[in-house]
Amino acid sequence: MNTVIKDLDRIDLRILAALGDEGRMSWRDLSETVGLSLTPTLRRVRRLEQEGYITGYGAELDEARFLGAISIFVSVTLDRQAKDALTAFEAEIVKIPQIVSCFMMTGGADYLLRVVVRDLDEYQALLTDTLTPIAGVAHIQSSFALKKIIERRKPSFRSLLPGRASL
């Protein structure tokens, strides 16, 4: 069994699931949901935060309501995959606020970025003035999202934790 999984008991998983569903719930509501008194619930939440299971709390924003923002998935291939080149690229892209997520990939491209911009003019400027000039970038391919079908903000604990069908 994965050591991360065995370090979490059923109550920890209930806490994570409850806060994943409603990060603004009161501590009292959380303690009632997980079946513990307030103090032990708070201790567990603090421990889960300290151990990195809970990395933050925040509002979910509707990107489309911000001036019709559009999402673009950008595949980036570097001219070489040496550690120094990867590190240098990553150091540059974390500075770009329009990049909302970045994944190192296997397959044809080295990275997959999700970019959110107001319009095509902003993306064209980002592409030509910011992304393309980054040292080591050999190829960029853009795909525009037409419609968001699903976006889950938290993982399904049932799919991640075999043998623990009920929380």
> Domain map of the chain by residue range?
3-59, 63-144
Sequence-distant contacts of 61-68: CB under 8 A, at least 24 apart: 63/116, 66/118, 67/118, 67/119, 68/118, 68/119
Looking at the whole model, is its pTM more than 0.75? no
State which CATH number among 2.40.160.20, 1.20.120.1730, 2.60.40.10, 1.10.10.10 fits the domain covering 3-59. Answer: 1.10.10.10
pLDDT in tens, 74-124: 999 999 999 999 999 999 999 999 999 999 999 999 999 999 998 999 999
CB 49 within 8 A of CB 12: no
The yes-or-no verdict on residue 164 having pLDDT over 60 is no
For helices 27-34 and 38-50, the axis angle rounded to 10 degrees is 100
Q: Does domain 63-144 fall into CATH 3.40.50.11240?
A: no
